[in-house]
Amino acid sequence: MQITLKDIARMAGVAESTVSRALNDKPGVGQETKAKILKLAQKYNYRPNQLARGLAVNKTNMIAVILAEMDSPGNIEIVKNIEKAAEEVDYQIILCNTNNDLKKEKSYLSLLEANQVDGAIFIGGKLVSSQLLRLSFEEKNPMVLVNRLAEENFFTSVLTNYSQGIYKAVEHLFEQGFRKIALICGDKDNLTESEKINGYYQAYTEAGFSVNEDLIFSTGADRTSGYNAFLEIMNRDIIPDAFISTRELTTIGLVEAIKFGGYFIPDDFAVVGYGDNILTSVIDPPLTVLNEPAAELAKLSFDFLLKLIKDKLEGQQIKVLTPELIVRESSIAKYN
Amino acid sequence: MQITLKDIARMAGVAESTVSRALNDKPGVGQETKAKILKLAQKYNYRPNQLARGLAVNKTNMIAVILAEMDSPGNIEIVKNIEKAAEEVDYQIILCNTNNDLKKEKSYLSLLEANQVDGAIFIGGKLVSSQLLRLSFEEKNPMVLVNRLAEENFFTSVLTNYSQGIYKAVEHLFEQGFRKIALICGDKDNLTESEKINGYYQAYTEAGFSVNEDLIFSTGADRTSGYNAFLEIMNRDIIPDAFISTRELTTIGLVEAIKFGGYFIPDDFAVVGYGDNILTSVIDPPLTVLNEPAAELAKLSFDFLLKLIKDKLEGQQIKVLTPELIVRESSIAKYN
C-alpha cells in the first residue's frame, strides 16, 4: 500500500490540510512542523496520488486509443504512428482492444468518464453508439474517430475514402485488360464495406460495363473467409479473371487458396489486396495493394485530439484521406 | 465536464455528505430531500467518479499489460490470450507498449502507483528495474512477469525455457544430417538471447561436435537484420548448411535473403524459424518453427495475477514452460 496524506498527518500529529500546505510550499505552517512533515514524506516515499492530481487539474498526459481490431496490421500501424506523435509532446497512450464488441467499448469508456485519460482516439469499429455521443457532447470529452462512421457525423474524424480506393483498383485492373473482377468484401450493412462496394459499382458504371453480382462476395474478415471465398466463387457460373480483396486477412487467405488450387498469380488470376504491411509483403509474388495512409491518419487524429484537449479546436473537423494503390506484379497482365 | 457530488449538493442546498447518503441509500436523509437529490442526479446524469470509487475499494477490474515489443506477433498472441482469460472473470486489460524503453515503462507504472489498475503483467523486456522492484515489494502491487528476468528473480513469473527450445532445434537438425548450423540471434548481453546461445552450445557439446563461432551471428531483432545476417554469413569462411533464427522478424528477413539469393529451402539451406503465427505461416515453403506456448503463458500469468490481487498467492511462484518444435518442410533434408 502507498502511504497517504492522511497517514502523514496522523504521524505528524497535524491536520491533513497542514500536510497539504507544507508539501505544496504554501504559507501557514511553522518551520518545525514543515520540516517534520517533509521528513516523513521523504522517509515513506510519499507521492501525491497522481490520479487525484489528474482529476484536479484534469490532465493526465495519457490518451486512450480504442481499437476495434487488434488483428489488423494496418490498425497496429496507425497505433504506432499515434504513439510517435504523442511521444513528441510527452503524451502516452494506453491501448484498449474492443474486438468490435460495443459492451467492451463501453467499459473502456469509463477511462474517459473518470478522467483517467485526457481524451480518446477510436480506430475502426461499428456505428457510433449513443453512449459515445453522450460522452462527446453532453460531457465534452475530447475524442476523435479514425475510420469510423456515425449515422450523422458530428464527430471530429479522420476518414479513409474507401470508395475511391476500390474505384482506383478496379480502374487499374480495367487498364490491364481484366473485366471479370471478383470483389471479396464484407457485409453491405457495414458502412465502410458498403462504401467499398459503391466504389466498385461506380468504376464499372463509369467505364460503361455492367456489374455481374455473382462476382461480389460478402464474407467475414478473417483468413479462412478469404480462402473459402475463392473456392465458392469458382463454383459459380462465372469464372473471374481478377480478384480484389478489401481486407487484410482475407487477402492472405485468398492468395493461399489460389496457390493451393495450383493456379498462378497473375497468370491465372490477377490480385489486388489490402494493406501494405509486413504480412502482405511476405507474399509471393509481390502484391498490388490498396494502402491506407497510416502515418497521416495517425498524425491528423492526434493533432485534432490535442487541440480538443487544449480547447483549441473550432467546431467539428472532418478530414478525408485517399488510399494509395501500390502496383506490383500480382495485378499486371502478362500479355497485354 | 461531468457533474460532481459537490454540484448536486449546491443545487439541492444540502451538504455533500447528505447527497452521498441519499445516493448510497443510507439512513439520515428526509424523504423529500432524498427525492430531490435523486432527481437532480438523474437529470444531470450524475455518476459517482469511478476512479475515486476504484481508489476507495482498491478495485478497478482493470489490469495493465505492459508489453516490451508490440511488433512481435507472438507477444500479441499472448496478449489476446490474457484478454480471453480476463474476460471470463469480468476483467479488462489496457495495453501499454514500452518499445523496450525503461523511461516509458516508468510512466506506465504510474497506472499501478495510482491504483488505476488492480495489477500488471509484463511481457518481455529488459532486466527488471529498481522501480519495478520497489513497486512490487515495498508497495505490494500485484504483478507478474512473462518471459522477463530479474537479476535475482523475486517475482512471480512465467518463463519460456529458451535454452531447451534451441537445444531441440539443433538436435532436430543434427538428426537430419546438418552439421554447420548458423544461429541468427540477439546480443549475448540480452538474458533471453544468451539463454538461446547456451542451448546451441549445449546441443553441440552433448553431440560431441565443436562449435564454430563464425556460425553464431548476433544482430538486431528486425527483418532487415535477419536479411543482412544471411549476406554477411555467406561472406565468412564457413558456409552453413542450416539456419536457426531465434526471433520472429529476423526469420522473415532471413528467408527473404535466401530466396532473393536464388537459393532453395531446404535444398540449399535448412531453416528453423521462430514463432508459429500468421506471419511465418504465410512463408513458402512451410516453415519449421520453435513456438512459445502463448495460451499457456497467458493463462498461467493471469491466474497468478488474479491470486495476487485477491491476496491468495502463497509466496513467489515461478513456472517454466518449454517451447514446442513444429517440424515442417523447411528443415527436412532432401536426401538423407
**CA A71 to each of CA B73, B86, B276: distance values in angstroms, whole numbers, following the listed order:** 9, 18, 15
Write phi, then psi, for B326 (nearest 5 degrees).
-105, 110
Question: pLDDT at position B257, please?
Answer: 96
Residues in chain B, overall count: 336
Burial class of A194 by CB neighbour count within 10 A (0 to 12, 13 to 18, 19+): middle
Rounded CA separation B19/B129 (Å): 45
Nearest CA in chain B to A49: B114
Whether B135 contacts B155, CB under 8 Å: no
| Residue, of A101 and B115, whose pLDDT is higher | A101
Write phi, then psi, for A309 (nearest 5 degrees).
-60, -40
Do B138 and A45 lie within an 8 Å CB cutoff? Answer: yes
The predicted-structure confidence for A89-108, as pLDDT tens digits, reads as follows 999 999 999 988 888 888 88
- Return the CATH fold of B162-292+325-331: Rossmann fold (3.40.50)
Whether B10 contacts B20, CB under 8 Å: no
| Residue, of B130 and B206, whose pLDDT is higher | B206
- CA of residue B160 relative to chain centroid, distance: 11
**CA A128 to each of CA A135, A152, B42, B61: distance values in angstroms, whole numbers, following the listed order:** 11, 9, 23, 25
CATH architecture of the domain with residue range A5-48:
Orthogonal Bundle (1.10)
Q: How many CB atoms lie within 10 A of CB B197?
A: 22
CATH 3.40.50.2300 in chain A, residue ranges: 59-161+294-322, 162-292+325-331
The answer to whether B80 faces chain A, any CB pair under 8 Å, is: yes
- CA of residue B131 relative to chain centroid, distance: 19
Question: pLDDT at position B280, please?
Answer: 86
Any idea which residue has 478495485 for its cell? B59
Q: Tell me which range, A171-180, B31-40, B43-52, is most confidently predicted by mean pLDDT.
A: A171-180
**CA A329 to each of CA A214, A280, A292: distance values in angstroms, whole numbers, following the listed order:** 26, 13, 20
Band of residue A119 on the pLDDT scale cut at 50, 70, 90: very high
Any idea which residue has 449515422 for its cell? A151
ipTM of the complex: 0.73
| pLDDT reading at A57 higher than 60 | no
Of A51, A64, A139, the CB nearest to B115: A51
Number of inter-chain CB pairs under 8 A, A vs B: 99
Question: pLDDT at position A27, please?
Answer: 74
Please state, for a pLDDT cut of 90, what percent of chain B lies above it: 57
Do B282 and A279 lie within an 8 Å CB cutoff? Answer: yes
DSSP B146-163: ES---SS--S-EEEE-HH
Nearest CA in chain A to B142: A1
What's this model's pTM, rounded to 2 decimal places? 0.77
Question: pLDDT at position A165, please?
Answer: 97
Please state, rounded to an integer, the average pLDDT across all residues of chain A. Answer: 88
Please state, rounded to an integer, the average pLDDT across all residues of chain B. Answer: 88
Kindly report the nearest CA distance between residue A242 and chain B, in angstroms. Answer: 21
Stretch B141-169: mean pLDDT: 89
| Residue, of B283 and A56, whose pLDDT is higher | B283
Closest Cα partner for B49 from A49, A219, A96?
A49
Contacts of B2 in chain A (CB under 8 A): 113, 115, 139
The predicted-structure confidence for B14-36, as pLDDT tens digits, reads as follows 888 788 778 776 777 888 888 88
| pLDDT reading at A55 higher than 70 | no
Please state, for a pLDDT cut of 90, what percent of chain A lies above it: 57
Question: pLDDT at position A325, please?
Answer: 97
- Here the cell at position B160 is 519460456
Question: pLDDT at position A152, please?
Answer: 66
Whether B279 contacts B73, CB under 8 Å: yes
Band of residue A41 on the pLDDT scale cut at 50, 70, 90: confident
CATH 1.10.260.40 in chain B, residue ranges: 5-48
Whether B255 contacts B283, CB under 8 Å: yes
The answer to whether B252 faces chain A, any CB pair under 8 Å, is: yes
Stretch B89-108: mean pLDDT: 89
Of B91-100, B110-119, B240-249, least confident by mean pLDDT is B110-119
Superfamily of domain B59-161+294-322: Response regulator (3.40.50.2300)
Stretch B99-108: mean pLDDT: 85
- Here the cell at position B38 is 435523486
DSSP run (H or E) holding B16: helix B16-23
Of A47, A64, A92, the CB nearest to B108: A92
The predicted-structure confidence for A244-287, as pLDDT tens digits, reads as follows 999 999 999 999 999 999 999 999 999 999 999 888 888 889 99
Of B2, B45, B97, the CB nearest to A83: B97
